[in-house]
Amino acid sequence: MTTPRATTTTSPFSSLLLLPISPSTATPPRRARTPPPAVAHGGVRWTAGGRRRRRGCRAAAAVVEDGVLLPKEQEDDDDEASSSAARYDWREEWYPLYLAKEVPDDAALPLTVFDRQLVLYRDAAGVLRCHEDRCPHRLAKLSEGQLVDGKLECLYHGWQFDGEGKCVKIPQLPDGAKIPRNACARSYEVRDSQGVVWAWMSGTNPPDERKLPWFEPYARPGFTDLSTVHELPYDHSILLENLMDPAHVPISHDRTDWTAKREDAQPLFFEVTERTPRGFAGYWGKQRTPHLRNLLRFEAPCVLTNTLEFVDKDGKEQCFSAHFLCRPAGQGKSMLLVRFGSTQTSPLVKVLPRWYFHQNACKVFEQDMGFLSSQNEVLLREKVPTKELYLNLRSSDTWVAEYRRWMDRAGHGMPYYFGHSTLSPPPVPAVVEQAPAGAVAGMSASFPAKGGVGATHAPNPTNRYFRHVVHCKGCRDSVKRYASLKNAFAALAAAAVAAAILAATRQLKAVLLASAAALAAASYACNWVLSLITTNFIRTHRRL
């Protein structure tokens, strides 16, 4: 039997970071590897609530139209399965806090998991430490403090805490007085696994190392990695839903660095192979190229992987894997750690600077931002399950419906959720903090944002500078370098013009003016790069 030939193809997710996959000969992926054993919690029977019938024809369409994903009998089966699902507890999980390489060495980093505020830092030995972001004295944010000899100091009154959260210094205590035993910051266990910092959120049970995510492709020889961090202004469930939706890529990201094209929009096939209390997995692909099968896996609480394995023209097994670690960062906010890896890397990756791929990823998320922010707004306003609002198609939305049905089974163990048939809205409105410059300083830990004030440095989740640059050492260094070069070239151009005015000969004037023009062009080029790194993408519509 001959192996089917494949034209040059690209995983839909590769458009984010320009990682084309071009197998001349492709085979279906290998069998999925056995996942780590799921940890079962005590079963509990619960009833679905919050349903509301929609008016008009769309309510009927949701159960009888041939193109819709969920027939009525399947919904009944899912509801029955949901009622007997194992108890899920969001605290008994590991959450991705940050990329280890991006954690500052000289400042504390404020982070959130759902609405729980944390502070992450490195002590004097470089060991990662994590506490509740609250001083037990007067509730000041410890992330607004500073590191003193590896200890975290609250800048309100100078209380200092060691890596275990124990208070070791109170400047206002009299000589000989003992520090109160309860003057401690609550601590959380953290792990650095494959370059990602994870936090165990349970305050009662010890960390379950079996639940700590581990990604097999990153252990393969020669596996390259491009990782970025992005803060986004919508709920993590909407982010996950978007990332497991390959159907939108050709349309939303049309012509994004030559990989996504709207002409490629087509029906997709899906095959669910696994459902557990902790997620689901299965294969999907394009109907025009059915031999190229992506393996998608969602694992609680917030890990999504998409892997494409194939055999190249030389008979070697190749792998492209996209990992999306989507931390819930409060109501209407999420933090995304994107990791793209491949055994076969595009030559462009070796030539183009790293900031180029980062700004391209930013552009992709900005293309979706308007859609997803409005989706977040509608869900919070309507307060009904997604079954009452979505019109899911068999040929494009299988993973979306699968994810929301998983929320039906596990959402009762979360602070708030929107499921396919049930929901539990946030009990109280989100608190919008007017964070001072200190919070931004902690995230950047270097120029240009450290101690910065003003529009460029103010926390603004719709601004690329705040969403990504303050979280990325490489992009911050690039901004600093190109800003310095821009100013230097501009100053040299002005000096060359002044020298040309004073030059005695016509030939020297011409040389100096030509030099001034070249320096001005170099200054403009640096400014263009700065704009590319820090400025949001604005979609320009064209008549097709």
pLDDT tens per residue across span 81-125: 444 445 889 999 999 999 999 998 888 999 999 999 999 999 999
- Residues 168 and 151: beta-carbon distance below 8 Å: yes
What parts of the chain have a pLDDT lower than 50? 1-66, 72-73, 76-77, 79-85, 444-458
What is the extent of the structural domain holding 103? 94-193
CB atoms within 10 A of CB 209: 12
Mark whether 253 and 395 lie in a shared domain.
Answer: yes
Mark whether 185 and 264 lie in a shared domain.
Answer: no
Q: How far apart are CA 334 and CA 232, in angstroms?
A: 5
Q: CB-based contacts of 537: which residues, under 8 Å, 6+ apart?
A: 362, 363, 366, 367
Asked if residue 478 is part of any domain, the answer here is yes
Q: DSSP secondary-structure letter at 344?
A: S
Q: How far apart are CA 404 and CA 82, in angstroms?
A: 12
Asked if residue 148 is part of any domain, the answer here is yes
Q: How far apart are CA 344 and CA 328, in angstroms?
A: 32
Asked if residue 317 is part of any domain, the answer here is yes
Mark whether 182 and 227 lie in a shared domain.
Answer: no
522 three-class SS: helix
Mark whether 175 and 223 lie in a shared domain.
Answer: no
Q: How far apart are CA 532 and CA 459, in angstroms?
A: 19
Mark whether 394 and 512 lie in a shared domain.
Answer: no
CATH of the domain at 142: 2.102.10.10
Mark whether 243 and 169 lie in a shared domain.
Answer: no
Note the Cα 464 to chain centre separation in Å: 13
- Residues 332 and 376: beta-carbon distance below 8 Å: yes
Would you state the pLDDT for residue 461? 62
Closest CA to 399 of 188, 243, 525, 506: 243
Q: How far apart are CA 331 and CA 197, in angstroms?
A: 22
Asked if residue 246 is part of any domain, the answer here is yes
Last residue of a domain, one of 397, 424, 451: 424
Q: CB-based contacts of 364: which residues, under 8 Å, 6+ apart?
A: 15, 16, 253, 256
Closest CA to 145 of 163, 128, 157, 127: 157
Would you state the pLDDT for residue 59? 39
Asked if residue 70 is part of any domain, the answer here is no
Would you state the pLDDT for residue 67? 52
Asked if residue 439 is part of any domain, the answer here is no
pLDDT tens per residue across span 237-285: 999 999 999 999 999 998 876 678 899 999 999 999 999 999 999 999 9
CATH of the domain at 249: 3.90.380.10
Sign of CA dihedral 133, 139, 141, 147: negative
Token pair in block for residue 228: 């970025």
Mark whether 271 and 359 lie in a shared domain.
Answer: yes
Mark whether 266 and 389 lie in a shared domain.
Answer: yes
Q: Which residues share a beta bridge with 196?
A: 99, 193
Last residue of a domain, one of 363, 396, 424: 424
Would you state the pLDDT for residue 389? 95
Torsion of CA 518, 520, 522, 523, to 10 degrees: 170
The count of domains in the chain is: 3
Asked if residue 541 is part of any domain, the answer here is no
Mark whether 108 and 143 lie in a shared domain.
Answer: yes
Residues making up the chain, counted from first to last: 544
Mark whether 129 and 228 lie in a shared domain.
Answer: no
Mark whether 113 and 186 lie in a shared domain.
Answer: yes
Would you state the pLDDT for residue 443? 52
356 three-class SS: helix
**Amino acid type, 55:** R
Edge-to-edge strands, sheet with 334-342:
224-232, 334-342, 317-328, 303-311, 294-299, 279-286, 268-276
Residue 425 burial (C-beta neighbours within 10 Å; 0-12, 13-18, 19+): middle
Asked if residue 301 is part of any domain, the answer here is yes
